[in-house]
């Protein structure tokens, strides 16, 4: 897997596709914290939402980083289509790690908050950032050219799903009681955002649930995506 | 499966929706054997190669390998211009295949020397010509000393010099005992590497050598002009629109012409050179409409 990640890193860095999402994220975070002071966890809920969108953009470009002919060659050398595809998802997630660290440490180290953030808050916030980025990555992979041929359709569909992920609570309120369980089918980004807005009052169980829900949801999406692609292999190209 | 076969396809079919690209394809490839697949654009050559390489699933049939760890090298019809040097690229591919580091470095050096790319190994592939890229394509396919080399139109778009060099490289690879399965457009690779040539027509595989042999044997019982025709190695394939009566008339006049039914009521006629001019003249007299005409070199 390290060899695959190293190869994907060479391809991604040299493609310069990382430039726009990384620049927008770094610029956005520094811009937002230009006004001080800020509440700690509420600010992190914003940067998690921001990282969720940026991670989706990174995954969207990463899944199609190779030309179809090269993808066939990589698959034969790596010996497994599941491994190469999972490698792309894993690489996308690892790529968001420094972004998550920046989002957590920059405001804490440069006194952008209204108080000093505790170590437990910083650690949990980093984990929430990573859970949010994993969710964004596993959602966006479904809209790569492997499953949706038209770039316009895939971009618009992904944008819609991202908007829906931010609107789960309002949508739930509008749904009749019999359809309310459908909420569990929607991306659980809202779990993290709502929790961070009421972090002081939240129980440990709810804090852990807000962390586990996007990770589990993302992992299920990832498993289904890999199963589907393994069945089709390179037929989609 | 034959005992010597590296890979055997049994009644393989491939459908995309309602479109059947390959139908009942059976093929067996032994060690050191060379098979060329020919056919028009979109006939399913690349699809067949991808099925052989295990890159895409098939709808029906069976694919058997000599052993589970059969090493297959695959060279697609073109390699992407990556922003890395050929050495970096091959190192990545070798590491993906879990080749030991020292063995990989030695192999990369060998391949650069073998394909005459030593001068360009520090140049990024974005600056490579098509011929150089095709060499790197073959280098990655042969990185692991494959038992079976699957090549998708390896000579397409190359200049004369590159073609000559690639041909001699492939001849050496074949001489080392590697089996080769290649999709080709022209006869050059087939004539240089020998082996069996198959045609894919409407999703079905036809052995052109058997076809040529059939034509050849019928010619032997015919006049000397027919022998000359085979020596020249040319047959003509005509796609015609004609009635049943016209077909009977032509069959009577030209018993050696091979007829086959096509879609939309059209007929294909495979004509030897000796019959070609008289058949054309008869067609004009009969006002038979010709849809297409193709001259084909018969593999000898």
Last residue of a domain, one of B202, B230, B251: B202
User: Between residues B267 and B185, which one has the greater pLDDT?
Assistant: B267
User: Is the predicted pLDDT of residue B113 greater than 90, yes or no?
Assistant: no
As for how many domains chain B has, the answer is: 2
CB-CB contact of B93 with A73 (8 Å): yes
Which range has highest mean pLDDT (A78-87, A122-131, B248-257)? Answer: A122-131
Q: What is the mean pLDDT of residues B248-262?
A: 78
Q: Do B288 and B229 share a structural domain?
A: yes
B83–chain A Cβ distance below 8 A for any pair: yes
Q: Do B243 and B186 share a structural domain?
A: no
Looking at the DSSP bridge assignments, the partners of residue B27 are: B9
> Which residue from B83, B96, B141 is facing A14, i.e. has the nearest CB?
B83
> Which residue from B84, B96, B143 is facing A74, i.e. has the nearest CB?
B96
CA distance linking residue A24 with residue A26, whole number of Å: 6
CB-CB contact of A41 with A114 (8 Å): no
Query: What is the β-pairing status of strands B179-184 and B148-152?
Result: parallel
User: Is the predicted pLDDT of residue B61 greater than 80, yes or no?
Assistant: yes
Closest CA to A88 of A15, A29, A152: A15
Say which CATH number the domain at B39 has. Answer: 3.40.50.300
Q: Is B255 helix (H, G, I), strand (E, B) or coil?
A: coil
Q: Do B219 and B163 share a structural domain?
A: no
Nearest-by-CA chain A residue for B53: A76
Q: Is B206 helix (H, G, I), strand (E, B) or coil?
A: strand
Q: Do B176 and B53 share a structural domain?
A: yes
Q: Is B158 helix (H, G, I), strand (E, B) or coil?
A: coil
Question: What pLDDT score does B213 carry?
Answer: 47
Share of chain B above pLDDT 90, in %: 6
Question: What pLDDT score does A96 carry?
Answer: 94
Domain range for B280: 208-297
Contact residues on chain B for A70, CB-CB shorter than 8 A = 76, 79-80, 82
CA distance linking residue A138 with residue A148, whole number of Å: 15
B98–chain A Cβ distance below 8 A for any pair: yes
Last residue of a domain, one of B202, B224, B253: B202
User: Is the predicted pLDDT of residue A228 greater than 80, yes or no?
Assistant: yes
Nearest-by-CA chain B residue for A73: B74
| Dihedral sign for Cα atoms in the order B48, B51, B56, B57 | positive
Question: What pLDDT score does B220 carry?
Answer: 41
Q: Check CB contact under 8 Å for A7 and B97.
A: no
Q: Do B235 and B156 share a structural domain?
A: no
| Dihedral sign for Cα atoms in the order A52, A54, A57, A63 | negative
> CA A112: distance to chain centroid?
25
User: Is the predicted pLDDT of residue B170 greater than 60, yes or no?
Assistant: yes
For the stretch A8-29, pLDDT in tens is 999 999 888 889 999 999 999 9
- pLDDT, chain A, mean: 89
Q: Do B186 and B114 share a structural domain?
A: yes
Nearest-by-CA chain B residue for A80: B55
Last residue of a domain, one of B202, B226, B248: B202
Q: Do B213 and B152 share a structural domain?
A: no
Q: Do B140 and B49 share a structural domain?
A: yes
Extended strands (E) in B124-276? 148-152, 179-184, 196-201, 204-207, 234-241, 258-261, 267-272
Contact residues on chain B for A3, CB-CB shorter than 8 A = 92, 95-96, 98
Which band of pLDDT confidence, cut at 50, 70 and 90, is reported for residue B89? very high
Domain range for A170: 2-236
As for how many domains chain A has, the answer is: 1
Share of chain B above pLDDT 70, in %: 87
Residue A35 in tokens: 């006004």
Closest CA to A138 of A204, A52, A77, A206: A52
Q: Do B218 and B198 share a structural domain?
A: no
For the stretch B92-111, pLDDT in tens is 999 998 889 888 999 898 88
Helices A204-232 and A189-197 cross at an angle (nearest 10°) of: 160
User: Is the predicted pLDDT of residue B44 greater than 90, yes or no?
Assistant: no
- pLDDT, chain B, mean: 80
Q: Which helix (H) or strand (E) covers residue A97, if one does?
A: helix A81-109
């Amino acid at each position: 897997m390290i060899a695959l990640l190293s190869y994907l890193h060479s391809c991604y860095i040299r493609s310069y596709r990382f430039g726009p999402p990384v620049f927008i994220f770094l610029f956005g975070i520094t811009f937002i914290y230009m006004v001080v002071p800020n509440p700690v966890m509420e600010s992190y809920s914003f940067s998690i939402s921001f990282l969720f969108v940026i991670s989706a953009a990174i995954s969207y470009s990463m899944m199609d980083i190779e030309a179809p002919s090269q993808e066939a060659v990589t698959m034969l050398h790596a010996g497994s289509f599941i491994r190469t595809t999972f490698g792309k998802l894993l690489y996308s997630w690892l790529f968001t790690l420094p972004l998550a660290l920046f989002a957590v440490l920059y405001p804490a180290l440069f006194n952008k908050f209204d108080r000093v953030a505790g170590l437990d808050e910083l650690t949990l916030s980093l984990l929430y950032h990573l859970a949010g980025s994993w969710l964004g990555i596993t959602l966006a992979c479904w809209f790569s050219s492997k499953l949706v041929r038209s770039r316009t359709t895939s971009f618009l569909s992904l944008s819609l799903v991202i908007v829906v992920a931010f609107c789960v609570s309002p949508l739930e309120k509008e749904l009749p009681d019999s359809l309310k369980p459908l909420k569990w089918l929607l991306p659980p980004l809202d779990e993290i955002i709502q929790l961070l807005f009421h972090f002081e009052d939240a129980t440990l169980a709810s804090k852990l649930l807000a962390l586990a829900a996007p990770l589990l949801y993302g992992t299920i999406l990832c498993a289904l995506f890999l199963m589907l692609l393994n069945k089709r292999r390179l037929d989609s190209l | 499966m034959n005992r010597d076969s590296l890979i055997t396809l049994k009644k393989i079919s491939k459908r995309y929706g309602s479109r059947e690209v390959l139908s009942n394809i059976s093929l067996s490839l032994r060690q050191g054997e060379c098979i060329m697949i020919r056919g028009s654009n979109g006939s399913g050559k690349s699809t067949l190669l991808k099925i052989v390489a295990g890159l895409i699933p098939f709808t029906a049939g069976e694919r058997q390998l000599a052993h589970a760890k059969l090493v297959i090298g695959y060279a697609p019809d073109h390699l992407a211009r990556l922003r890395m040097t050929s050495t970096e690229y091959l190192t990545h591919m070798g590491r993906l295949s879990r080749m030991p580091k020292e063995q990989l470095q030695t192999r990369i050096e060998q391949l650069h020397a073998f394909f005459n790319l030593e001068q360009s190994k520090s140049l990024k592939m974005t600056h490579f010509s098509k011929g150089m890229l095709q060499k790197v394509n073959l280098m990655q396919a042969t990185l692991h000393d494959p038992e079976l080399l699957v090549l998708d139109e390896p000579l397409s778009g190359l200049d004369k010099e590159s073609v000559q060099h690639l041909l001699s490289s492939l001849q050496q690879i074949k001489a080392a005992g590697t089996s080769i399965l290649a999709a080709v457009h022209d006869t050059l690779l087939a004539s240089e590497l020998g082996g069996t040539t198959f045609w894919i027509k409407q999703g079905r595989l036809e052995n052109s050598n058997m076809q040529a042999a059939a034509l050849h044997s019928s010619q032997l019982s015919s006049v000397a002009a027919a022998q000359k025709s085979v020596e020249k190695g040319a047959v003509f394939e005509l796609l015609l629109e004609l009635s049943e009566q016209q077909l009977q008339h032509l069959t009577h006049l030209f018993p050696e012409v091979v007829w086959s039914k096509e879609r939309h009521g059209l007929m294909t006629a495979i004509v030897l050179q000796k019959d070609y001019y008289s058949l054309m003249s008869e067609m004009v007299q009969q006002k038979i409409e010709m849809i297409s005409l193709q001259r084909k070199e018969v593999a000898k």
